[in-house]
Structure 1
Amino acid sequence: MSIDPTPVAPGAACCGEYASMSRRGVLRGALLGSAVAAFGGAVVRTAPAYAGSAAAAAGGGNVLVVLSLRGACDGLSMVVPHADPVYYRARPRIAVAADQLLARDAMFGLHPSFRPLLPMWTAGRLAAVHATGLPAPNRSHFSAMEEVEDASPGSSAREGWLNRLLGTTPSSHALEGVAVGDGRVPTSLWGAQAVTTMRDPGSVTLAGADQWDKHGGRPRSVSTLWGASQAPLADGVRTALQVVDDFAPVRATSTAPANGAVYPTSELGKALAHVSRVIRGDIGSQVITVDQGEWDTHTDQGTLTWGAMRGNIGDLASSLAAFFTDLGTTGDRVTLVALSEFGRRVRENANYGTDHGYGNVMLVAGAGVKGGRYYGTWTPLVDTPDSDVLVTTDYRSVLAEVVRKRFGASTAAVFPGFSPATVGVL
């Protein structure tokens, strides 16, 4: 049993800080200091709160999928404030023309690459909340990601908001919280509750328990070795064995997308296909995280005919459209929130790109969403070299509505010391 030491590739990101970031580097110390068991390509982070088999947990519950747009996406390109004249003055080369926008209202419109999601918008299942963000500007990728995912400013506790949400649920098993991606525990899921991370559903296996193990000797031998052990890693190994057993319904679920869904061949498309399979397997997972990287567009953010933004938004839209098509009626209990660590500056730079900023846009889709409209309070833009989109809605207020209305959880327990404002998106 081992953890793959390969760092996460930063893709085409050009920011020095973002390009040098490795989630292995971020989390290595935490992993080495906790009860962690690795098996196949998956990792279980155990905790005293682990209560056994997921089989005892009721299926069919609500699910929250949190999609992190890593690298700080440009919300001004995703949801364009076409009625604000400063937007066009500050971005003479990369601004999106108003007549090209989708779902345009008096102030905003969607980038045309969102077209695959237009049916969800029209059906009221997709909404956008603009001018969201942290309580104060933070333009460091590393520290902003940590702050967004801890969601408890000023606290020194190593604990993510999704782990705190899991702590408010009656059951406690390691498949309630799942990260699909690089096999490492994201900050949002770190904490007292047991969680599981995986590259894909096929990785949730016990190494050696394959076609050559015809009589099931490998699981028996591991159980015999660790079953009564008091060694520090024993709890992790026992939990891992239980997770492999509890994951059986997902392994039995077809790998083929349902309802005619066709996912992009991108990393995000593959990851969301895995997420759908986990949800359709109905193993009691309540929160699932997934990432989309390469949003750090200092250079070549581009226009409607070329550049990174067009491709990133197109991949995001096509992947999400396929995901909800794949889920079918199961999607009636799945809410997805997409957010980024911070936004970009108002003014374009000399390289057809934008630099680190402050306020941004959040997307909310699926069950319970009052969609087909834009939310948030807009402050007119200013065209100076360091001007930002000003934050008028703390991002936790959006998340708090999901926590309260989809899970019936205490927002005070999930976001300590924070009093959420009413957004109305759910």
Structure 2
Amino acid sequence: MQSLAIIGSQWGDEGKGKITDLLGAKCDVVVRYQGGNNAGHTIIVGDKKIVLHLIPSGVLHSHCVSVIGHGVVFDPEAFAKELKTVEGAGITLTRENLKISENCSIITFYNKLLDGQREAKGPVKIGTTGKGIGPCYEDKISRKGIKLKDIFDLENLKQKLAANLIEKEALFKNLYQCEYPSVDEEAARLFELGHAIKQFATDTFSFLDKSVSENKKVLYEGAQGVLLDIDYGTYPFVTSSSTSCGGVYTGAGVPGKTINEVLGITKAYTTRVGEGPFPTELFDSTGEFIQNKGHEFGATTGRKRRCGWLDLPLLKYTVKASNLTSIALTKLDILSGMDELKVCYAYEYNGEKIDCAYPGIDLSKVKPLYKDLTPFKDEFKTDSLSGELESYIKEIETFIGIPVGIIAYGPERSEIKFRKDYF
């Protein structure tokens, strides 16, 4: 196998970081292809905890080249801080092992300000991180965006920022009545930040094309999850990028190339951060128990994650929507030892019973139907699993039609078991 995409199969926060880290050790190239610093991948290495927001997990392996593709929206200030954190952990980054697409869209201060004002003063709260992700993608689609290559030329940057600010200025002055930096101030800030970034800026399209042609082993690392995809997710409570497998082709730059394996990272239960419908959400002591035992707090914002039983109709949908070929089932240790164990196997919706969600379904109006399973009490001290846990895994595999290739039962690299060979 030469290529693998790692996709979140739920609403994000499934534990993609440590899986990417382990599989990245077997790869030549790791590519981040969408989203921005609104995502956080937490990786535990020995006694060190590293949270990556923009930089791909491949940087933890000296033989691996990490690539930030043009589908990523890039905050230069956030990158500068993360660069210091990574280098402070003893990891050396150079142009040879970290490459950032010159065509990445830049998150400006105006994007972040607009994001925050909308969430604070707008009629509907989406539950954004306030990092400016959505407004930056808006600039990109409306053809007014700032690209990474633009911040290396001060006069050109000023011209583009002036054109970019025209509409936003009306909103800042008249609707939100907030202060904002001048074009000269914002241009100077971005230009200064560009000094530390320029060494990494490159033509990543050609680099990846060459890597694939030379049969390099390439891993594509996604952020968030399919249920937050701008097209496939629970709109409007979604992110602003293509979090499904389709985002690899548009955001990394490998159109027409075959991806051999699409691995969906799946929590053994379901969580969600922020607003939006959540059919299996638990509002009782069981939900609170899962939240506390699972340390369910966002890596980027620290917000509590809402918790509920595993939702199989949604999981079957993401398998189809993102062409998943196997899944990694994470955080099984959190469910171990519970007095009860349930999965949602279908919905009652508009007078019908359905076992697979679809785009546009109003999840706030579905009634989840549950199946009781025998709880498992595994301590994961040996390679063998209990019959109860094997039955839980088999229930999932049979329902979604693809295998569980990996199980994870803790944050450490050692607490992962491969049931399938990758690379």
**What TM-score does the superposition give when structure 1 sets the normalisation length?**
0.31
Structure with the larger RCO, 1 or 2 (CA within 8 Å, 6+ apart): 1
